[in-house]
Amino acid sequence: MSEIEIIAKQMVAKGKGILAADESTGTMTKRLSSVSVESTSQNRLKFRETLFSSMGMKNFIGGVILYDETIRQKTSSGKTIPDLIKSYGSIPGIKVDAGAKKLAGSKDEKITEGLDGLRERLSEYYNLGARFTKWRAIYNISKLCPSELAIKSNAHALARYASLVQEANMVPIVEPEVLMDGEHNIDKCYEVTSKVLKECYNELVIHNVNLKGTILKPNMILPGNKSNQKATSAEIAKKTLKCLKENVPHEVPGIAFLSGGQTEIEATQNLNEINKINDTNFLISFSYGRALQQSALKNWSKDIKDTDNTQKIFNHRSKMNSLSTEAGWNIDLEKHIAV
């Protein structure tokens, strides 16, 4: 087994998931502003350091996705952020795409950029301590979207990215996100996600990507956030697992879902339901940002020196999601914020 295959399995090992702490400075500023905290590099570091030094990291987090600013920062004790993460038994990773920009030839769709100069950036990130990476592509659902152009263009970019990452001896997280925005029902989400995944894996195979050394970060199969048709967790789980079984090659070791607009409880409950019926060899886990951090951020904003309570809240959320990777979560456990 190669080094990247070992790392991929470690990232979503039994009971563990991935903390997506790769918010750009702009996104983090919005998050901090929403809780009335000034977005300085020092405050952004302080919040992230609070999470990265919690016991929940040791027990429940297999990897942390960082942003360019964060991977270069040092903690209050002088340790680099990657070294802090490693000291808690987790693996440092890095977001390497340059964001979604307007797709030429399409009115309402986007293509993720960042391939230019990526080989050199990957070498630098490896030397800074990163051992895996992330690249996110986004797809809208509407009457005309996603177009074949958007599906094929983003799949091709994801595959070129993944090939370069493995060349640099790191694990690529492949994140094709079908957005929750819209009036579509759950069946439309299933149909579009199937097309997107199928094309992604066609391109990954063409680009000679070792699928055993990758992690897939997909959306769950959900109705649009403006849909009149709601879905139960059981229905979401059934359709999501069916979509994975039909479109994701069995060589892929792990699937770490994004939360994609779900609440903290919804993201945990739906992951738990998926694992209740998981009859595949996939390690099915989480790669959550807001769904792991939001409650901790709200508490931290009240008193940024109150590290203990912020960590307790993060530990609890991490533990709940850890339990859901083994179908061991239930709503009654949410009453006890302890690890």
Q: Which residues are catalytic?
A: 175, 217
Dist CA 132 CA 129 (whole Å): 9
Residues forming a β-bridge with 20:
65
